[in-house]
Amino acid sequence: MEPKSIKRIVIIGPESTGKSTLTEQLAAHYKTAACAEYAREYLNTHGTAYTFDDLLTIAQGQIALEDATVASVSTNTTQANQPVFIDTDMYVMKVWCEYVFGKCHQFILDQIVVRPYDLYLLCNIDLPWVKDELREYPDEGPRKELYHIYKDLLINQSTPWVDISGNYEQRLQTAIDAVDDILNV
């Protein structure tokens, strides 16, 4: 019997909305792999004074990390047929490019078109903002604006998506319910 294709579930949203935490919690719950946000590793190594071209490098690194994570799960017999949880995708890179620089790399736009996902989990801004050396937008105004940009993107594409809000426990339960719905299709 041939294995089912691996479901790719992306967690997106503005900074400090619990994306990384939720990604790790879901991977632990389903006993599978999580694909981390490559930007964190890149900015920790190269510093936070990034350029437009750095965002292309980060996008390429994110794609490579995602592909490696999916390949790892597909060859692991204990994880075969389990979903992969992805912290950030090219929509995040598009929003980041356009919000900061007013333009987006064609590579990112092309990847949005060709990369298939099964579910988006959009993290709402209802968690308190947590200071972090990599975070740029502590004020509610930009966070709210960015949340609505992400929501508009998801409304205007065909992959199912779910808004994730509430405390950490509520967020995890909402996400598990949404993932279970996708896995039982």
Cβ neighbours for 171, distance < 8 A, ≥ 6 positions apart: 18, 22, 123, 164, 165
Task: Kindly report, residue by residue over 131-177, the tens digit of the pLDDT.
Answer: 666 555 566 778 899 999 999 999 999 999 999 999 999 999 999 99
Residue 78, pLDDT > 70, answer no
Contact 26, 34 (CB under 8 A): yes
Residue 1, pLDDT > 80, answer no
Task: Kindly report, residue by residue over 82-130, the tens digit of the pLDDT.
Answer: 899 999 999 999 999 999 999 999 999 999 999 999 999 999 999 876 6
Q: For 43-47, 65-69, 149-153, which range has the lowest pLDDT when averaged over its residues?
A: 43-47
Total count of residues recorded for the chain: 185
DSSP state of 167: S
Burial of 164 (0-12, 13-18, 19+ CB in 10 A): buried
Contact 30, 78 (CB under 8 A): no
Q: Which CATH number fits the domain 8-183, given the four candidates 3.90.79.10, 3.40.640.10, 2.60.40.10, 3.40.50.300?
A: 3.40.50.300
